[in-house]
Amino acid sequence: MSWTCAIGSWPRGPRADAGFVTVLSVVGARPQFIKAAVVSRALAEAGAREILVHTGQHYDVRMSDVFFRELGMCEPAHNLGIGSGSHAEQTGRMLAGLERVMRDVVPDRVLVYGDTNSTLAGALAAAKLALPVDHVEAGLRSFDRDMPEELNRVLTDRLADQLFCPTHTAVVNLGQEGLTEGVLFTGDVMLDLALEAGAHARHIALPAGLCENEYFVATIHRASNTDDAAQLCRVVKALDEVARTVAPVVLPVHPRLLHALERNAVGVSAIRTIEPVGYLEMQGLILRSRGVITDSGGVQKEALFHGKRCVTLRTSTEWVESVNAGMNVLIGDDLSDLADEAAKCDGSVALDPNLLALFGGGTAAYRIAEAITGRGPTRRRWTNGGIS
């Protein structure tokens, strides 16, 4: 059975014997498609009617459509086609489009994911219409207000009625900000899918010339590393050094990165660049790598979940658990040590099950669905020990 068919075998709509809650889910970027894949299935099992709205924040087929196909998700009921633009332009267009959809649908609840402009626009549009807001990945903090994502997180948490926290650290963060009502530790839905995908991903063929545990997989997309020409040059130079002196580096090129490289005439020499990849192929690249180098929050977690050490091209992270576990190093602005840190990555690391338990142990989607609908799934039950 193929991965897509396995995903697609989950229920597609509300149970006929149950009243249901109408949930309007807002997505717009690759990480949100991944999170929504497992939550949508759990909502369907719990008897919810879900209306999926795609803002179009990620509009490239390789960063959008491929994930819906691969993860077996239904096509969005609405695609706003917002596209790119400044933060203000993008968020403003999303607000107007989402308000129109919400007025038409009048859902019982609005579900938003993560920390993108789509997240904030969905939460703000719903709050202004007095619609209850549920936030998946609430309470995450990097404590770096220079990151647009940090502003989106903080504002969305203040607009949300239910705050679904992926870690206990996130619960503590909210408490320190005076947010205690509607706060629930659910675990991380990305762990749910990573555990499900692992066996399939291991059989994905590697790009020609790559050998298992003998290459690094890298991702670069954050504005702080792509919008400043000097910083982009430093990052590429540092990755080139890793590729020349430690092990090959394979870099799926995000559209933001491609445009930045072309705009600034920055060339890569030793790095092996490839087209953006789908979810399952990315998990395969991580699973079979020597280690991961990234500026992505989601990829930091995927590396951890697959037992791979990670070097993060940032000065802060919202996923402090991976740093505390010794699985993640923040390299900061000085990239001169990148090759030395990468050399410490030596393939797979056996993870303590208690570490994965910090992220919910693979039961997050069911906890979220039960909190939203008031009823659990019909075919699987979650307990503190996992799904039974």
List, for residues 229-243, the tens digit of each pLDDT value: 999 999 999 999 999
* Residue 29 token pair: 């970027």
- The residues that are catalytic are 221
| pLDDT at residue 83 is higher than 80 | no
| pLDDT at residue 2 is higher than 50 | no
Residues 164 and 135: beta-carbon distance below 8 Å:
yes
| pLDDT at residue 255 is higher than 90 | no
Query: Measuring CA to CA, which residue among 275, 234, 273, 225 is closest to residue 251?
Result: 273
Neighbours of 379 (CB within 10 A): 8
Q: How far is CA 227 from CA 28, 150, 239, 258, in A?
A: 21, 18, 17, 11
Three-state DSSP at 162 gives strand
Q: Is 49 exposed, middle or buried (0-12, 13-18, 19+ CB in 10 A)?
A: middle
| pLDDT at residue 84 is higher than 90 | no
DSSP-based helix, strand, coil % in the chain, nearest 5: 45, 15, 40
pLDDT (0 to 100) of residue 63: 52
Give the separation between CA 363 and CA 103, rounded to whole angstroms: 33
Residue identified by tokens 């609005």 is: 110
Band (72; pLDDT cuts 50, 70, 90)? confident
Band (9; pLDDT cuts 50, 70, 90)? very low
List, for residues 165-198, the tens digit of each pLDDT value: 999 999 999 999 999 999 999 999 999 999 998 8
pTM, 2 dp: 0.88
Query: Measuring CA to CA, which residue among 197, 192, 187, 264 is closest to residue 225?
Result: 264
Task: For 312, list phi and psi in degrees, rounded to 5.
Answer: -105, 125
List, for residues 13-57, the tens digit of each pLDDT value: 444 344 589 999 999 988 898 899 999 999 999 999 999 999 987
Domains, the chain: 3-188+360-387 (3.40.50.2000), 202-354 (3.40.50.2000)
Give the separation between CA 65 and CA 61, rounded to whole angstroms: 5
